[in-house]
Structure 1
Amino acid sequence: MRQLILALGLLTAAAASAEELAKDGDTLVVSQGTARVTLSDVDAYVHRVPRDDRAGFMNKPERIETMLRSLLLDKQLADEARKLGLDKDPIAQKQISLAIDTALARVRMEKFREGLKAPDFSEQAHEDYLANKPKYQIPRRVDVKHILIDTKSRTAEQAEALAKETAEKIARDPSQFEALVESLSDDQSKKDNHGLIENASSENFVAPFAEASAKLEKVGQISPVVRTPYGFHIIKLVKIEPAQQQPYEKVRAQIVSRLEAEWLEAQIRGKLDGLRNEKMDPQPEVLATLRERYGAPGPVTPKLPAADDAANPQ
């Protein structure tokens, strides 16, 4: 394993020479026993990965090693199967035929996708921006400070009682909040941030905490006691940045990219639905034998759409 990972590291470092080797699909990559894996084998394997994901897939030596070991194992087992004449078995031959169909179907859809040319969505993108301006805002941001009464060293009932008592004390004298953060809060990060939580209403925080922070409207406002999986919090709003509308030019490329992706998905879905919805002509007598053929209780005829229904789905 160490030897293969080292070799993969050297291959990564020699990217330029690898491009030259790629011109010859029969170039040997690795061998083991009777198995030989060539560049064309690797090409065929990697082409099963979506085009946009291939560079990331091949970016880790460990993943490449797993791929090569899988290819070598399959090839060694296939060689044994051929020597035993298993490739002549009618079921095996049909399985090979089905595998070819699956591979060709995948290649056909890849070529179909590559042949699609999206229209110009500039006008639709601008219309989308005007119709959905709130969607293209930088969300309102709030920074808060909080006091945490956790349940690690006390029961939930004790923690809640202490949190409510602390909230009442702060309500009588809000100026105590900062001192109570330092003296009472169980948040271990307070020694560095003094209870400050930035962008507290974002999805980075547990929902009860984020929602309570988002409800605060004025700097200095203090929340009721809020329970989260960490314990009980008292939250004080210290800073607000209102939502900001992003200019169209800043989000134009993002909108166009989304519209193009939606269009491509619709074309592919339409292609596949068109094939699925072609007239189907089931053979009821044969269908009725399938369950018993493989040992299931029968006979029960699978429910397939009638020919007219297949052509005109609801």
Structure 2
Amino acid sequence: MRQLILAFGLLTAVAASAEDIAKDGDTLVVSQGTARVTLSDVDAYVHRVPREDRAGFMNKPERIETMLRSLLLDKQLADEARKLNLDKDPIAQKQMALAVDTALARVRMEKYRESLKTPDFAEQANEDYLANKTKYQIPRRVDVKHILIDTKSRTAEQAEAIAKETAEKLARDPAQFDALVEALSDDQSKKDNHGLIENASSESFVAPFAEASAKLQKVGEISPVVRTPFGFHIIKLMKAEPAQQLAYEKVRASIVSRLEAEWLEGQIRGKLDGLRNEKMDPQPDVLATLRARYGAPKPGALKLPAADDAANAQ
């Protein structure tokens, strides 16, 4: 196994200077027993991966080895099947035909995707930016300190009672906050940060804590008691930086990319929906035999939806 990984590391190193090899689909990549895997086999396998993901897929020797071992195993088993004339079995032939249909369907959609001419979204991207400026901001940042009364060593009722009593003390004398952090907070990180939580309204923190932190407006403001899965918190705003609007030029490329992806997805969905919604002509008598054909009970008649019904359900 290790030799195979190292071998592919060497192949990767010379590939850029040996492009002629990549053009030769019959070039042998690896063999095992009766099985031979060629570059065209690898191409066929990798083309099942979306185009934009192929480079990343092939960037790990371990993944390449897994692919090759899978191909080799399939080929060896297929050779055994042919020697046993299993490829002549009617069901096997139908399964192979279905596999061909699946492969051709994938290729057809890939070619359809390649045939699409993406519109110019420059003007629409600018309109999107102007209409949704808040989407293109560096969010407001707040740094807070907090007192945590946890529920590890006490009931929720006990923890809440302590938190409410502490909040009442702070309402009378907010200057006690730092002292109460050191005296009461169960946050183990307080020995290093003294209760300070930076960028506390970000998604890095549980929602109740982040939301309560975001609501604080003035430095020194103290929140009501806030419950999270960790216990009960009292939060004090230490620093706030307002949201910063990003210039259009900094986000233009990402907006265009998103609009292009949405348009492409819509075209693909429209193509597939058009095929799905074509009128079906099921054969009721044959449909009625399917359950019994495979030994399933027959609770009722099997009915496929009409094309119009399927369209309305979407």
Cα distance, 1:258 vs structure 2: 1.4
1:186 corresponds to: 186
Residue 138 of structure 1 is matched in structure 2 by 138
- Aligned AA (1:120): D
Shift in Å at residue 254 of structure 1?
Answer: 1.7
Inter-CA distance 290–186: structure 2 relative to 1 (3 Å threshold): same
Q: How does 1:27-106 map to 2 (within 5 A)?
A: 27-106=27-106
Distance in 1, Cα, partners of 2:186 & 2:72: 56
| CA distance in structure 2 between the aligned counterparts of 1:17 and 1:154, rounded to whole angstroms | 68
| 1:291–1:299 Cα contact (<8 Å) kept | no
Note if contact 2:287-2:303 (Cα within 8 Å) is conserved in structure 1: no
Q: In 2, distance between residues paired with 1:180 and 1:313?
A: 63
Distance 2:306 2:228 in 1: 55
Query: Is this contact kept in 1: 2:150–2:186, CA < 8 A?
Result: yes
Compute the TM-score of the two structures, normalised by the length of structure 2: 0.91
Shift of 1:241: 1.5
**Maintained 8 Å contact 1:291/1:300:** no
Instruction: Identify if the C-alpha distance between structure 1 residues 157 and 34 changes in structure 2 by more than 3 Å, giving closer, same or farther.
Output: same
Uncovered stretches (5+) of structure 2, i.e. residues with no partner? none
Name segments (4+ residues, structure 1) moved above 6 Å: none
In 2, the alpha carbon distance for the partners of 1:174 and 1:11 equals 68
Contact kept, 8 Å, 2:137 with 2:244, in 1: the verdict is yes
Letter in 2 for 1:190: K
2:108 corresponds in structure 1 to 108
**Is 2:250 aligned against 1:245?**
no
| Residue 189 (structure 1) shift | 2.3
CA RMSD between the two structures:
2.1
CA shift digits 1:191-247 (9 cap, x unpaired): 332222121111111011111111111110011121212222111101112222222
Q: For residues 270 and 31 of structure 1, what CA distance do their matches in structure 2 show? A: 43
The CA deviation string for residues 264-293 of structure 1, in whole angstroms up to 9 with x for no partner, is 111111111121222322222222222222
| Counterpart-to-counterpart distance in 1, 2:183 and 2:17 | 64
Instruction: State the percentage of identical aligned residues.
Output: 87
Partner of 2:11: 11
Provide the secondary structure at the position in 2 that maps to 1:237: strand
* Residues 216 and 222, structure 1, Cα contact 8 Å, conserved in 2: yes
Question: What SS is found at the alignment partner of 1:295?
Answer: coil
- 2:261 maps to 261
> Kindly tell me: are residues 18 and 155 of structure 1, through their superposed partners in 2, closer, same or farther at Cα, counting changes over 3 Å?
farther
For structure 1, which segment, 116-125 or 284-293, has the greater mean C-alpha deviation from structure 2 after superposition? 284-293
Instruction: Give the TM-score taking structure 1 as reference length.
Output: 0.91
Structure 1 residues 148-297: aligned runs within 5 Å: 148-297=148-297
